[in-house]
Chain A
Amino acid sequence: MLEEELTSQIIDQQKFKTELAKKYTTFLSKYPEIFSDLISGSDFDFALYDSIEAYDNRSPVDIFNVYCNDHGIEIRPGRADDSDLELALSIKAVKSLIQTKNKVEYAQLLGYFFNNPDEEKGWIDFILHKRTQILIDMGYGRFARTAGILEEDDDVYSI
């Protein structure tokens, strides 16, 4: 399927607990192609945390999930029924991410927050709910690279 043919749908947006999650889901819905490496049926959580301590306690201020169907993505409030993984984001990171102008800038900033986690500036992390090999087969490795979370090795250390 061509990127421009991918669709996105936000379901029950009024059920989100925070305005920030509403804004973030609206932002993500503009770029369903970010998720195009994932196989249909993939479903994972985006959890927003107000501190690292809250993350340690697994107490997000808001949570939604992105489900990949045959045509694109559906964004739903709450946790996925059988979540593949959780992408954890600090509120500060989300506030910055939704200010980015395009998906390239978004991916770069997401990668920055992953590789330079900072309580003040923002951070992201992830928790795997399924075995690594299953997630690789579902396309999450490629997704992580597209989303900016995994860097090219040359970028990690380049002379």
Chain B
Amino acid sequence: MSKVKELEIKNKYTGEVLRTIPADTPETVQEKIKEVHASQNLLKEMDFFERAQLLSNYASKLRFKKKQLKDLIVAEGGLPIKYSEWELNIVMTGFRFCDWYYQFIEEKTLTSIEGEQFVRIRYIPHGLAACISPRNTPISLPLYQWGANYLVGNAAIVKPSTACPLTMIEAQSMMEEMNLPALEALNLVIAPGNWAVDEFLKSPLIKTLMTITSSHTAKDILVRYANILKKTVDKSMGVAMYTRPFKNFFFECAGNDAGIVMDDVNLEQVAKWNVMASYTNSGQQCFSMKRLIVHSNIYDEYIEYLIKEIEKLKYGDPTDPSTDIGPLGSRKILMMMEVMVADAKKYGCKIYTGAEKIDPGEDYGLFYKPTLVEIKPELCEDLTDAPFLWREEAFGPVRSITKAENLKDAIKLANASNYGMRAVAYTSNLETIETFKNELEAANIYINARPMLTDITVALGGIKDSAYPPGCKYYPQELVYGKYIYDGTPISLGKLK
């Protein structure tokens, strides 16, 4: 169990040590949890719109420090500078217009069959949340988790990835600079290794655990909580009574999104968007378009366009504004890409482009060239025997492509997945569009969409193994519960007085 006291944060491209920062220990994590919990009432002293206004003001602060934040994101995250723009814009937009989320948690009145209105549903924050963020987004996801909790009135502890915590530390100091009210109810935990998750699970003060992680890690967290429950079981009454309470678990997990290209669209345009959607941030995105399903009528022609676009991608120094592909986040990702491609080769899959690594032998400057692998459709249907690249998330720049004979075939292939985050389809046929909307098995369907949207309506979550609970969409609505209040005073008070 690693419980180091200091962490060296390195530049992902050059290996230069950017900063050495103090790391938390199990004791300091528990201390922070207590402090934050003790301050959570400060958030309740403000209403939703006051908190929303403060987050909106904070979005201005972020914008004025955009250059500084972008430099940090690029250095510690390895994200190309032009992608860091999107990374910041998505969270700045979310914060700027965060009162928009009120529509999901606004108190509602229910009308009975007899027309009476004695019932109200009031949305109450769950309480202290622990949030764990991944390495691929140094600021957008951890800050979004933080902001969503602040907005609805939950205290929160956020654990950014220890591979890239500096941007969030800077974001926190910007909150301090602007004297953000109730900041005591928020804190960061800088903790390497899985033990931090156990500290969150152990603490009875933490009501919600939200993570953005792989589906397998998410399931492991559930198993670990089950083990904690087991250890505290009381059998003194002859039946097993679990003394630990339920926790709320919100997992936004892996995606293995299908991208369908039908034979009635501008292939050159779609190929451009496809490459952006598939290889942005070196493909290290849960919502990246990973399994390409192309109509047989245009399959060969589309592949030509696609390869042309893929081979235009420039990889290298992420500070160069013309760089499209930055270094990978870790050696583990590089190894995973190699394993997936090697596995696909065993199935006789064709490699159209890429499949080469750049490995200086260190833990930085690691690249895998954007890769396109053809998987025969007959290999895709049985998920127990499909190539690893088809059945699991390729969290790097390797993408699969397969051929669909018709619409029905395309939908069958798209749905042949254990994941269901997003599905993307391109067609100009209005009837086909409706079929996609109805039959694609994903929580978020994008039809003829440009990639990398920053609009406030962009949703999170998925179905199948892409999210738990299935279908969660916007954190603010997941971080509250609906309290049912029946108030019969108007008709009963006279009888009771």
* Residues of chain A at the chain B interface (Cβ within 8 Å): 52, 116-117, 123, 125, 127-128, 131-133, 153-154, 156-159
Contact = CB atoms under 8 A, between A and B. Distances in A.
Contact of B313 (A52, A128, A156, A159): A159
Interface string B267-278: 000001001100
B213 interface: no
A131 to B, nearest CB: 5
Interface string B441-480: 0000000001011111000000000000000000000000
B277 to A, nearest CB: 10
Contact of B99 (A117, A125, A132, A157): A132
A128 B455 CA distance: 17
Nearest to B98: A132
A157 B100 CA distance: 24
A157 B280 contact: yes
Contact of A117 (B66, B83, B100): B66
Given A159-B276, A159-B324, A132 B86 contact: no
B64 A133 contact: no
* Size category, B interface: 35 or more
Interface string B88-103: 0100000011011011
A153 B452 contact: yes
Given A156-B85, A159-B279, 12 more contacts: A116-B66, A117-B63, A127-B56, A127-B57, A128-B53, A131-B99, A131-B100, A154-B452, A157-B82, A157-B85, A159-B275, A159-B280
Contacts of B100: 131-133
Contacts of A132: 97, 99-100, 456
B86 A131 contact: no
Contacts of A158: 82, 276
A132 B100 CA distance: 6
A119 to B, nearest CB: 8
Nearest to B101: A132
B85 A52 contact: no
30 contacts: A52-B64, A116-B66, A117-B63, A117-B66, A125-B63, A127-B57, A127-B60, A128-B56, A128-B96, A128-B99, A131-B49, A131-B100, A132-B97, A132-B99, A132-B100, A132-B456, A133-B100, A133-B103, A153-B452, A153-B455, A156-B85, A156-B89, A156-B454, A157-B83, A157-B85, A157-B276, A157-B280, A159-B272, A159-B276, A159-B309
B233 to A, nearest CB: 48
Nearest to A134: B99
A87 to B, nearest CB: 12
A157 B84 CA distance: 9
B450 A153 contact: yes
Contacts of A128: 53, 56, 96-97, 99
Contacts of B279: 159
Contacts of A159: 272, 275-276, 279-280, 309, 312-313, 324
A158 B85 CA distance: 10
Interface in B279-312: 279-280, 309, 312
Chain A residues touching B, majority SS:
mixed
A118 to B, nearest CB: 8
Interface-central residue, A52, A128, A157, by most chain B CB under 10 Å: A157
Contacts, number: 59
A126 to B, nearest CB: 8
A132 B93 CA distance: 11
Interface of B: 49, 53, 56-57, 60, 63-64, 66-67, 82-83, 85-86, 89, 96-97, 99-100, 102-103, 272, 275-276, 279-280, 309, 312-313, 324, 450, 452-456
Given A156-B452, A157-B280, A123 B64 contact: yes
B276 A131 contact: no
Contacts of B63: 117, 125
A144 B151 CA distance: 25
A29 B138 CA distance: 44
A150 to B, nearest CB: 9
Nearest to A52: B64
A89 to B, nearest CB: 13
A156 B86 contact: yes
Contacts of B102: 131
Nearest to B60: A125
Nearest to B452: A157
B64 to A, nearest CB: 5
Contacts of B49: 131
A153 B82 CA distance: 12
Contacts of B312: 159
Contacts of A133: 99-100, 103
B316 to A, nearest CB: 14
A69 B83 CA distance: 41
Could you say which of A131, A133, A159 has the most chain B C-beta atoms within 10 Å of its C-beta? A159
A158 B455 CA distance: 16
B174 to A, nearest CB: 12
Q: Which of A116, A125, A128, A132 has the most CB of B within 10 A?
A: A132
A153 B455 CA distance: 9
A90 to B, nearest CB: 11
B104 to A, nearest CB: 12
Contacts of B324: 159
Contact of B450 (A127, A131, A154): A154
